[in-house]
Amino acid sequence: MKIDEVTETDYMDSGAACPGCAGELALRLVLKELGEKTVLTTTPSCVGATCSVNISRINTAFPATAATSVGMSAGLKALGKTDVTVMAIAGDGGTADIGLQGLSGAAERGDDILYVCYDNEAYMNTGIQRSSATPPGTWTTTTPVGKERPKGKERPRKDMLKVMMAHDLPYAATASVSYPTDFLDKVKEAKDRTGTRYIHVYAPCPTGWKFPPERSIEIGKKAVTSGACILAEWDEGKFSLTGQSKRLAEDGKELTPMKEYLGPQGRFKHLDDEAIKEIAQTARENLEEYRKLAQAYS
Amino acid sequence: MKTKEKPEKLSDLTKTPSGKAGSFKLTDVSGWKTFKPVLDEDKCINCLQCWVYCPHGVIERTSDDQAISIDLQECKGCGICADVCPTDAIEMNKIRGVDDE
Amino acid sequence: MMSKEVFVSGNTAVATGVSLVEPGVIAAYPITPQSPAVEKISEFIADGEMKSEYIEVESEYSAMSACIGAEAVGARAFTATSSQGLALMHEMLHFASGQRLPIVMAVANRTLAPPWGILNDERDTIAQRDTGWLQFYVESAQEALDTIVQAYRLSEQEDILTPTMVCYDGYIISHAYEKVVVPDKDEVQSFIPEYEPDEILNVEDPKTLGYAPSGYNTEYRVKQQLGTETAKGAIGDITEDYADQFGRDYVGMVEEYGPENPDVTLVTLGSVTGTVRDVVDKLNDQGREVGLVKLRTLRPFPYEQLADILKGTGAVGVLEKDISFGYEGAVFSEVRSALQGTNNVPSMNFIAGLGGRDITMENIENVYEKLFTMAETGESEGRIEFVGYRFSDGKGII
């Protein structure tokens, strides 16, 4: 897909999201691709609480996102309405933490929903608390930087793509709002499949990551080109890297120095060069692991 | 969620906690801005970068050879459009009356 | 097709009632002692006797969430659970009633752990009485089947739009076999009007569900309360229509049993009602005027009828399988508040059957003896008695 092929119709208005919110952008882009024959589940999150969506939606409870969508899908089937896409959107905390059980259940059963996780790497709506998707080295309000804990969050983040692949679902992918055509190609693939489809889209948060709002897209790009986030796709048992991540891992394109990605973000300002080096090393290892995975599941 | 008309009795409210889709819309967020985007139409090459990246959907694409247009009422002044513009056709200008820190 | 008589367990009766209604979506998770009910529903679907989408969810929380999703797009939904499963659903019970989704759920009453146990008491559902659901407590497998059918018509009524729990005692009803009359499916279908809600998720007229206009929370709660108030009258009407069409009359929210103006009265609910009926018959045969009041619904709470029925009696006991720690049995509190101002006779709370302990006829005869003493002396031994307390240290009466 090229930029001028992105659907012109917009199913959202301007709501109360912070200026530069990439979560809002993620939903806006997905809905362009899905179109009006969609019903949506949102959950307590920035997107659920602030976005103005001109598509039918229910804001369900935090752990209930997947199961509510599953019920909608079954209900529509029972009523003979088979041309409607049921989509769910939740943040990284709503997906990788409190919503994981319901999502796992749906994916194992193969319930017919498209689940989108917009990942801004912490609980932003409640005020920047760590989630299981928060990367190591991150300052959050519940992993503050202090004498006894100089690095912020310490443990690695949960890799949701791998979690979902373990369910052997028809389609799963990671994407970034900074690469909208790669993202929408994936939404398009996911739209036409039957069963549980999962898209994990990285969405930088100026408020929670502490950078000026105009840099959301630029920082999202650096997340990918530094190797901190990886664009990949699981398609009926085949795994491949896509876009910039493919170029970095397979075509030998040089990684952006990690400092260029972390440096402009206030949530990493406590990290010294040694810590940044460590993060860069982990990113290289992850990328290499994904490259091998792509070979194994080619 | 907002209602268009102020309800006066119980039956003016919906039966269930629900409403017409899109009722989270803020009609005027112009006051959120410190900076506003100003477009130099001559520099605009209609590449649509600003359009696709605008998180708040306030940029409209026009027909092929014309420049984009920006709805300043709904624009929050985040500056993404200026940041992603490859030809520097958008400049973020400080709005008059906003004090310098 | 005509109605037919079968010899089945309460769980099968529940499943059969659901099959007659044939909701669009069933989402359920197994738990003892409810499991045979959902197994039976799965069988009906597998055999093509029932056309519903069955979701084998991974938890009760998801069961209720899926029912909410199904009803949110306009499909009928059903689930069943018990005890821990119901407790796990708690958050979504509020969501279902708050969103005014007329889900029907059968609950096989079972004690809550710890101490672990799978046998019956009613602490599970009574603890959920503030979730905004209507609650029926049934006495038999037949009543469970019939009440499920009635519940759909009740819950879906436009001025009610409130979900209903049909509570049936675990094992005592769920696993015991009874002769049950299965009504004709077409007749059941004609008893329940088409369900055509308009405030749902659709693509033609997009809606946002889950939010109300800011500043009107109280008004939506008033609507919810009015819905449950309206249910009071509707339960009477629906029960009457059901009796006309199917020949079985459950009277409404409250049933009186025994002589008119009894000297003492015991209020109870659920399956133990059957045992109490036998005791009432026995004592009345001995010339002792004892009465029984069966509470068929705890929500809506029939306080007007209770106040009226209990007006002339000399002492009131409430026998329940529940306790609200720090106070007393929740049903007792509610019955006493209904009597406030109209009847100041002595009253006592009899807490029985916890964790499945048997409630014998002898236990109930003792309760009536105590009520007679209370009526005579105007005093009671205490406020609460734990019926069948095993030790002789006097601590079973508080």
Residue B56 token pair: 């708040």
Helix axes C272-285 and C361-377, enclosed angle (nearest 10): 60
Whether the predicted pLDDT of A147 surpasses 50: yes
Measured between CA atoms, the residue of chain C closest to residue A35 is: C203
Contact A56 C61 (CB under 8 A): no
B59 Cβ under 8 Å from any chain A Cβ: no
A78 Cβ under 8 Å from any chain C Cβ: yes
Architecture per CATH, C254-386: 3-Layer(aba) Sandwich (3.40)
Which residue from C184, C165, C167, C26 is spatially nearest to C102, judged by alpha carbons? C165
- Total domains present in chain B: 1
Chain A contact probe: residue of C55, C79, C195 with most A CBs at under 10 A:
C55
Which residue from C207, C71, C27, B57 is spatially nearest to A40, judged by alpha carbons? C207
**What's residue A173's pLDDT?**
98
Strand partners, C320: C351
How far are the Cα atoms of A91, C198, C260 from residue C214, in angstroms, in the given order? 24, 22, 52
* Alpha-carbon gap, residue B79 to A162, rounded angstroms: 35
Measured between CA atoms, the residue of chain B closest to residue A56 is: B21
Average pLDDT estimate for A136-148:
97
**What's residue C341's pLDDT?**
82
CATH number reported for the structural domain that contains residue B61 in this entry? 3.30.70.20
Contact C69 A67 (CB under 8 A): yes
Q: What percent of chain A has pLDDT over 90?
A: 99
B16 Cβ under 8 Å from any chain C Cβ: yes
How far are the Cα atoms of A240, A255, C5, C245, C281 from residue A230, in angstroms, in the given order? 11, 12, 64, 65, 76
C213 Cβ under 8 Å from any chain B Cβ: yes
Tens-place pLDDT, residues A44-69: 999 999 999 999 999 999 999 999 99
**What's residue B64's pLDDT?**
67
Tens-place pLDDT, residues A228-258: 999 999 999 999 999 999 999 999 899 999 9
Contact B19 C211 (CB under 8 A): yes
Do A241 and A235 contact (CB within 8 A), yes or no? no
Peptide bond preceding A144 in cis form (omega within 30 of 0)? no
Do C181 and C53 contact (CB within 8 A), yes or no? no
C195 Cβ under 8 Å from any chain A Cβ: no
Helix axes C83-98 and C217-246, enclosed angle (nearest 10): 110
Superfamily of domain C4-246, CATH level 4: Thiamin diphosphate (ThDP)-binding fold, Pyr/PP domains (3.40.50.970)
Contact C100 B21 (CB under 8 A): no
Do C124 and C86 contact (CB within 8 A), yes or no? yes
Who among A14, A15, A215 is closest to B83 (CB)? Answer: A215
Give domain status of residue B60, yes or no.
yes
Whether the predicted pLDDT of B83 surpasses 70: yes
In residues, how long is chain B?
101
Q: Do C4-246 and C254-386 fold alike per CATH?
A: yes
Do A138 and A152 contact (CB within 8 A), yes or no? yes
Residue B16 token pair: 């269930």
What is residue A276's three-state secondary structure? helix
Which residues, 6 or more positions from C311, have their beta carbon under 8 angstroms from its beta carbon? C342, C343
Strand partners, C255: C294
Give domain status of residue B8, yes or no.
no
B72 Cβ under 8 Å from any chain A Cβ: no
**What's residue C214's pLDDT?**
87
Q: Is C326 exposed, middle or buried (0-12, 13-18, 19+ CB in 10 A)?
A: exposed
Reported ipTM: 0.97
Whether the predicted pLDDT of A142 surpasses 70: yes
* Alpha-carbon gap, residue C270 to C264, rounded angstroms: 20
What is residue B93's three-state secondary structure? strand
Residue C170 token pair: 């675990």
How far are the Cα atoms of A22, A214, B53, B75, C193 from residue A18, in angstroms, in the given order? 9, 12, 15, 11, 47
Domain boundaries, chain C: 4-246, 254-386
Chain C contact probe: residue of A79, A83, A89 with most C CBs at under 10 A:
A79
* Alpha-carbon gap, residue A43 to C69, rounded angstroms: 13
* Alpha-carbon gap, residue C291 to A116, rounded angstroms: 60
* Alpha-carbon gap, residue A168 to A205, rounded angstroms: 31
A288 Cβ under 8 Å from any chain C Cβ: no
| pLDDT interval class at B101 (50, 70, 90) | very low
Q: Report how many Cβ contacts below 8 Å link chain A to chain B.
A: 94
Peptide bond preceding C302 in cis form (omega within 30 of 0)? no
C74 Cβ under 8 Å from any chain A Cβ: yes
Residue C54 token pair: 């069955």
CA distance A33 to chain C (A): 15
CA distance B8 to chain A (A): 25
Domains in chain A (CATH in brackets) are 11-296 (3.40.50.970)
Domain boundaries, position B47: 41-95
Give domain status of residue B72, yes or no.
yes
Which residues, 6 or more positions from A123, have their beta carbon under 8 angstroms from its beta carbon? A91, A93, A129, A130, A131
Which residue from B73, B88, B95 is spatially nearest to B40, judged by alpha carbons? B88
Do C240 and C191 contact (CB within 8 A), yes or no? no
Task: Output the tens digit of pLDDT for each of chain C's 398 residues.
Answer: 689 999 999 999 999 999 999 999 999 999 999 999 999 999 999 999 999 999 999 999 999 999 999 999 999 999 999 999 999 999 999 999 999 999 999 999 999 999 999 999 999 999 999 999 999 999 999 999 999 999 999 999 999 999 999 999 999 999 999 999 999 999 999 999 999 999 999 999 999 999 998 899 999 999 999 999 999 999 999 999 999 999 999 999 999 999 999 999 999 999 999 999 999 999 999 999 999 999 999 999 999 999 999 999 999 999 999 999 999 999 999 999 999 887 789 999 999 999 999 999 999 999 999 999 999 999 999 999 999 999 999 999 99
State the alpha helices, DSSP H only, in C257-377.
272-285, 303-309, 330-339, 361-377
Give domain status of residue B21, yes or no.
no
- Count of alpha carbons within 13 angstroms of residue C355, beta-carbon side: 9
Average pLDDT estimate for B19-24:
91
Contact A56 C74 (CB under 8 A): no
Q: Is C116 exposed, middle or buried (0-12, 13-18, 19+ CB in 10 A)?
A: exposed
* Alpha-carbon gap, residue C148 to C152, rounded angstroms: 7
Residue C41 token pair: 């529903």
